[in-house]
């Protein structure tokens, strides 16, 4: 069986919610659902793409009414709907990535930060002294007084 990505799991969940009819998923009106933006199984624009956190939010707030402990103990199936497509992602982590691989990714990201090739460290290392605002091409604002 193929391992699902978080986006594929959300899409499958939405299909299950809408009785397996993809047209119903497309026309879904429940904009308050955390999955609404991901219902088509497509990534959001850069910087806003957080399907794992969205799944965690859904599981805690929508499915388990705010009780995080119940998410931990969830069995991933119900008599009415069957197995839950997002069950493996409920903790906000990708089950397709091993703990060892996750640690390697974390270490590599930390090294990039130390080297200055990523994030705030690179911005700060390029700065020559204190903050200098960029020069504006606009004419200066007249003094009102």
Tell me, yes or no, whether 119 lies in a domain: no
Name the residue range of residue 53's domain. Answer: 6-95
Tell me, yes or no, whether 86 lies in a domain: yes
Tell me, yes or no, whether 27 lies in a domain: yes
Tell me, yes or no, whether 85 lies in a domain: yes
Alpha-carbon separation of residue 12 from 41, 81, 139 (angstroms)? 8, 12, 55
Tell me, yes or no, whether 143 lies in a domain: no
The reported pLDDT for the residue numbered 8 is 96
Tell me, yes or no, whether 48 lies in a domain: yes
pLDDT in tens, 10-44: 999 999 999 999 999 999 999 999 999 999 999 88
**Closest alpha carbon to 19 in 69, 71, 82, 70:** 82
pTM confidence score: 0.69
Number of domains in the chain: 1
């Amino acid at each position: 069986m193929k391992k699902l990505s978080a986006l594929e799991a959300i899409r499958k969940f939405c299909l299950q919610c809408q009785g397996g009819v993809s047209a119903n998923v497309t026309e879904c009106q429940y904009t308050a659902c955390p999955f609404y933006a991901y219902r088509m199984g497509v990534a959001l624009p850069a910087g806003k793409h957080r399907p794992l956190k969205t799944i965690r939010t859904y599981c805690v707030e929508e499915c388990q009414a705010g009780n995080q402990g119940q998410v931990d103990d969830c069995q991933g199936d119900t008599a009415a709907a069957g197995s839950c497509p997002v069950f493996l992602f409920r903790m906000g982590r990708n089950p397709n990535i091993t703990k060892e691989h996750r640690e390697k990714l974390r270490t590599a990201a930390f090294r990039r930060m130390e080297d200055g090739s990523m994030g705030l460290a690179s911005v700060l290392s390029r700065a020559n002294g204190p903050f200098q605002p960029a020069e504006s091409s606009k004419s200066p604002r007249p003094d009102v007084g």
